[in-house]
Amino acid sequence: MSTNTVDNTRKVTTARLTEMKQRGEKIAMLTAYDYSMAKLIDEAGMDVILVGDSASNVMAGNLTTLPITLDQMIYHAKSVIKGTTRALVVCDMPFGTYQGNPIGALESAIRIMKESHAEAVKIEGGAEIRESIERILCAGIPVMGHLGLTPQSINKFGTYAVRAKGEAEAEKLIADAHMLEEIGCFAIVLEKIPAELAKRVASELTIPVIGIGAGGGVDGQVLVMHDMLGINKGFSPKFLRRYADLSTVINQAVSSYIEDVKTSDFPNASEQY
C-alpha cells in the first residue's frame, strides 16, 4: 500500500494522527462513555474516541464536569476500551487529579492507563499545569492538551461564552499551544474560540489541532455524542450540528412499548415459549 493511501482498518495511534495532519486528512473524534456506544462508533470508522469528563453531565446528570471522580472516569474508559478495536481511546483526567500536583498527576495518569487500558490522557490548561504534563509525558503516557474554553474552570470563567476574543487571552493561548507542542503533547483540543485564532494555531503547530466550536480551519473536529445524536436536546450552541434526533426516536419507541404492555399486545403468541 502506498503511503498516501488511507487504510480504514489500521489501528489509529498518536503517530498516525500526525501522519493524517501531514497529508491533510481531517481527524474525526467523538465522545463515548460505555461499551455498546463505543462499539457502534468504532465500527462506523471514528479515528479518536474521547472518554470525556462530559460524562459528568450526560451520564451522571451533574451541572458541571467538576464532580466526576478518577474511579468513575476509569470505569467509563474501561467499558469504552472493551468496545473499541480501531480508534485511539483518550481518557480525560478529571478535575482535581493534576492541578498543582505533578506527582499526583502522574499517579492519576498511571491509574488511568493501568486500570482502564486507555491509550492517552487529555488535560485542560496551559503554562499553569506544565509540570504536571511533563511529569506524565516522562512516564511514556501520551498527552492531549485542551485550551480555550476549559469546562473544569467554569467557576473561574463564570460563563461558557467564547474564549480568547481579546488580544491578551489570544496571545496566551498561542503561547500555551506552542509550549504544549514543545514539551511533547501529541495533539491539542481547542474549545469555543474564534475560528481565525484556531486556524492560526493549527497552521503554526505540527501536531494535530482538534476543534469544538473552533471553526473549520483546524485538523479535526470533536463533539459530545449525546449532543450530536440529539439525545440531549437542551444544549444547542451555534457550533453544534445534530446528526440524529434520538430523543424523539427513543420517546416514540418507549411510548409504543408502554402502550403495547398496557393493551396486552406485547408479548404476542410468537413472542413467548
Residues that bind ligand KIV (CB under 6 A): 31, 50, 52-54, 92, 189, 191, 212, 222, 224
Instruction: Judge contact between 177 and 211, C-beta under 8 A.
Output: no
Terminal-to-terminal C-alpha distance of the chain:
53
Residue nearest to ligand KIV (CB): 52
C-alpha cell at 34: 460505555
CB of 50 to ligand KIV, least distance (A): 6
Question: Among 51, 58, 116, 32, which Cα is nearest to 90's?
Answer: 51
Between 54 and 132, CB nearer to ligand KIV: 54
CB of 81 to ligand KIV, least distance (A): 17
CB of 243 to ligand KIV, least distance (A): 16
Between 20 and 123, CB nearer to ligand KIV: 123
Q: How far apart are alpha carbons 51 and 165 in whole angstroms?
A: 28
Between 3 and 118, CB nearer to ligand KIV: 118
C-alpha cell at 35: 461499551
Between 235 and 266, CB nearer to ligand KIV: 235
State yes or no: is 271 an active-site residue. no
Q: What is the DSSP letter of 64?
A: S
107, 134, 191, 259: which one is catalytic?
Answer: 191
Q: How far is CA 183 from CA 51, 126, 172, 200, in A?
A: 23, 11, 16, 20
CB of 149 to ligand KIV, least distance (A): 9
Q: How far apart are alpha carbons 45 and 40 in whole angstroms?
A: 9
Residues annotated as catalytic are 191
